[in-house]
Structure 1
Amino acid sequence: MAAVIVLSLAGYGGFPYAKDWWLSREVCGGALPDDAVDALSPDSGEHHLTAMEEKRVDALGSYRCELSYDRGDDVSPARVFEVTADTRRDPQEAVLWQAFGEGGWRPVSPLPDGMPGFIDESGAVQLMGECPGLGKDDDGRPRRILVRTAAGWDADRGAPDALVGVAVAAANRASEQLGCGAEPLEKTGRARSTDPGSAPVAPEKARGTPCAAFAEADLPTGTKVRIRTNSSSLVVRCELVGSDGEGGEPKADFGAWYGDWSERLINKESARLNSATARCDGESAVFNGWAEEEFGLSDRQVRALIAEFSSEQAERRDCTHLTSPASGRPDTT
């Protein structure tokens, strides 16, 4: 069954400010925080909201919600934001592959601690939640929901905290609509930026973070660690930058990806050689890394860092069947 709500409220044509107020408070079933929607909406002195759409397709396990605004005569409306959610594995994997790219190394930014997701390279917020109400899929894996919330290109993309607020509320709305039966997600802190170029820290300051494995590692002099994700995300990324790379490109990068979809990241022989794997929460996890030749880390040192990183991650997430890089053999250390 498909349920669709589309409102343009033509009767409000002579009262654009009333229409703005109504649409901003009714979008996504009225589940979104008013201040967050207002922060993302265009200046009402120049543009006005024009329509909203909410659609649920039970047979596909999908949900969509969108708010748009009028850009003027002879110009099609533009999105303020769009929410898409899916409880099926194939569509989820397609979204994740687009977010991470081949190899998994596209930039990501962290959400506040405790929130199960990340901000992708485009600035969209991605949240992965549990769906105990939907049981298990055909392969016996617990069903989950992936919710992506993206601001329109013409919306106020400088309001990351507002977008995260919309994303959390929309994820809870989607979860309810699709029968996930999970506890509502909470916004646990303020999102300061969607810019993936966050400031790196000295290695010792990485203790207690997802990048704790590098706190006491033998790294080139002056190396700093840029922490890309929080400890609850389905991806962990730790970039190493040189002493001259405060905001620049990483000289080395180490990542962990959680879920059976991650197996496709090591479909090449070169990727398999440098990868460790494990079973985490009943699904596959992949750990990998690389370093530029001039950074001063040998291939052997990179594999040793991957092993240390994967071991710390496996302990942190209570994973089993951890293998070491270049061997595929269980790590007995």
Structure 2
Amino acid sequence: MKGEALRRLTPRGKMVTAITAALALLVGGGWAAEPYWQPWWFSLKFCDGKFPAADLAPVLPKERLVGGDEMDRSGDHEFCGINAGGRDYPLLVDSVTSFDDFEIKLALGPGDKADPRFVFPRGISGFEGRGGLVVLLDCPGPNHDYRGATRQLLVTVRGAKHRTVAAQRIAVTMANRTSSAFGCGAKPLPKPQRNAPAESPDAAIPVEKAAGTTCGWLARTPLSAGGTGAGAWRVSAPTDADAPVTSCQLFHGTDKEPAVKFTGWYGAWSRPLMRRHLEENENLYYDAANGPVVGKRNARALAICGGEPANFLARLQPAGVRQNITKEDLRSLLTAFAQAQTTRTPAAPRGGCTGLQVP
């Protein structure tokens, strides 16, 4: 009844004029210039509505996007992208279980420096590679991919604003959703709090207090480079001990940059990754890049853990050079790290490995 009365009181031409004026008012007020509705729109359409608007808003550009969203799903691979036109993608999310060397290279980005930044809070098995954020999870149970390798779930989030908590939350959401969809069965990850810092570095502690962490082995290792003694050294253990990529970092005194970075890489994909790293950073090729080696700045050991290749890397940093850490020091440190990682303890639950090869 009220609608009919309104139509009688308002001639058709005046109604059209009123609507046009209202739209003009919205445009003039910035609705088109800064589309606040855009994250809500993509939260319904993008990637089957997996991500809430509150997580999409910080990673999308302020201007209106004209390219729309894309999605491709095939077996155990799912790709979602938001296109700003042409090849400009402000957000790319990818998840796969049967991945190969190509996906790992894409995740870590150009150069394959094998030098991840562990930006996620503890409890989330992920890091920042050169290509964006990476979440890497083991799929429990006796399930294998087409090559016979133990399945792992690889999630990548790329885009101009991947260094945000919102992007981390998107990575975790994708991992949890696709772990279930792909039958991976990994334990659900906790989402970072929205008000958390974009990077959660693990505070360095005195080396003698590192027992029970992935750096605990350093408390039993002589550290006398530069004649300073063990008391001047600190360590940071930013990863969980059972993560597919583990890390330990050694600091000297009050230095803010580590002297040596140690990483353990678990999975068949780690072998070609380490080979490329040594080729590009130590000019080693063929057999020299495939086995245990100590170079000017990098030392590598190998083992078989859970029936899969495992690689252990020690990288000398500029701060370590200033502390006169030598090539032989690097060799000894890598050997101690690899032995600790391959011996089953609460601090190294992946231990029980075989065939350890050290340089």
Tell me the TM-score normalised to structure 2 length: 0.68
The yes-or-no answer on 1:279 pairing with 2:307 is no
State whether residues 66 and 82 of structure 1, in contact with CA within 8 Å, keep that contact through their aligned partners in structure 2: yes
Helix, strand or coil at the partner of 1:142: coil
Name the residue aligned to 2:183.
180
Matches of residues 224-239 of structure 1 in structure 2 within 5 Å?
Answer: 224-239=234-249
Matches of residues 45-84 of structure 1 in structure 2 within 5 Å?
Answer: 47-50=63-66, 51-58=68-75, 61-68=76-83, 78-84=88-94
State whether residues 59 and 167 of structure 2, in contact with CA within 8 Å, keep that contact through their aligned partners in structure 1: yes
State whether residues 114 and 232 of structure 1, in contact with CA within 8 Å, keep that contact through their aligned partners in structure 2: no
Name the residue aligned to 1:109.
118
Helix, strand or coil at the partner of 1:301: helix
1:17 offset after TM fit, Å? 4.4
Change (3 A) 1:42 1:201: farther
Question: Could you tell me which amino acid in structure 2 is paired with residue 318 of structure 1?
Answer: G
1:213 to 199, 217, 220: 217
* Larger radius of gyration between Structure 1 and Structure 2: 2
Name the residue aligned to 2:58.
39
CA distance in 2, matches of 1:87, 1:158: 24
Change (3 A) 1:319 1:34: farther
Change (3 A) 1:112 1:100: farther
CA distance in 2, matches of 1:137, 1:54: 23
Q: For structure 2, list consecutive stretches of 5 or more residues without a partner in the other structure.
A: 1-26, 276-285, 295-299
CA distance in 1, matches of 2:191, 2:242: 12
Change (3 A) 1:225 1:321: same
Helix, strand or coil at the partner of 1:89: coil
Q: Deviations over 1:224-250 (max 9, x none)?
A: 33445343432223233333532x3x4
The yes-or-no answer on 1:307 pairing with 2:312 is no
* Larger RCO, structures 1/2 (Cα 8 Å, 6+ apart): 1
State whether residues 122 and 238 of structure 2, in contact with CA within 8 Å, keep that contact through their aligned partners in structure 1: no
Q: For structure 1, list consecutive stretches of 5 or more residues without a partner in the other structure.
A: 1-12, 70-74, 327-333
CA distance in 1, matches of 2:151, 2:240: 22
CA distance in 1, matches of 2:141, 2:246: 28
The yes-or-no answer on 1:318 pairing with 2:351 is yes
Change (3 A) 1:140 1:36: same
State whether residues 99 and 120 of structure 1, in contact with CA within 8 Å, keep that contact through their aligned partners in structure 2: no
Q: Aligned residue pairs: how many? A: 293
Matches of residues 148-159 of structure 1 in structure 2 within 5 Å?
Answer: 148-150=156-158, 152-153=159-160, 155=161, 157=162, 159=164
Helix, strand or coil at the partner of 1:55: strand
Name the residue aligned to 1:251.
259
Name the residue aligned to 1:4.
none
CA distance in 2, matches of 1:318, 1:243: 31
Tell me the TM-score normalised to structure 1 length: 0.72
Runs of 4+ more than 6 Å apart: none
Percent identical pairs in the alignment equals 25
State whether residues 112 and 230 of structure 1, in contact with CA within 8 Å, keep that contact through their aligned partners in structure 2: no
CA distance in 2, matches of 1:146, 1:139: 16
Change (3 A) 1:40 1:251: same
CA distance in 2, matches of 1:213, 1:100: 30
Change (3 A) 1:279 1:23: same
State whether residues 108 and 121 of structure 1, in contact with CA within 8 Å, keep that contact through their aligned partners in structure 2: no
Change (3 A) 1:198 1:137: closer
1:64 offset after TM fit, Å? 0.8
Change (3 A) 1:158 1:189: closer
